[in-house]
Structure 1
Amino acid sequence: MSVKRCTISGRSVHSLNELYDELARQLPLPDYFGRNLDALWDVLSTDIEGPVELIWEDSEHSKRSMGKDYERVVSLLRDLAKEREDFRVIFR
């Protein structure tokens, strides 16, 4: 099975809404995706078939602009990578 790659540009993502938009553009998120962190966990942990590789380029830019939201998303993605053997997240 081919890897689903999602590349997020930290220079373009400055808010949770921009992150959700970018994820929806690159991954087959369902129409009912609720655009909140609980819903993000649900769709990434159960609805998106793997393997998945999410690469967040220039993540420091997003970190500066998103603040605590960035930390919450990073924590979610790292927890997801621990939970799913076929999900990999890379921060650059």
Structure 2
Amino acid sequence: MALTGKQIRTLRALAHHLDPVVFVGKADVTEAVAKQADQALEAHELIKCGVQDGSELTTREAAEALAEVTTSEVVQVIGHRFALYRESHKKDIEHIKL
């Protein structure tokens, strides 16, 4: 699912106020980190993640690796933070209108 420029701008604006919920540490993208990100994406659709200083991955590499594992889209990468988006299958949450 490729996002358009307008959709990315909307998601970036929404992600600005979010706090990171998933952190990639020195063990890089592990199964536990992927599971945590997957659950957060299913519950919220848009999440912000962080890369800690001990990680051997750059922020872009961590974002792309986590996006691939969770089948989500990288919305933005700034500094040690990045945002991911994936449409949720849950019916009981408020979905982001794109």
TM bin, normalised by shorter chain, reads: 0.3 to 0.5
- Structure of higher CA gyration radius: 2
TM-score relative to the length of structure 2: 0.33
Please state which structure has a larger fraction of its residues in helix: 1
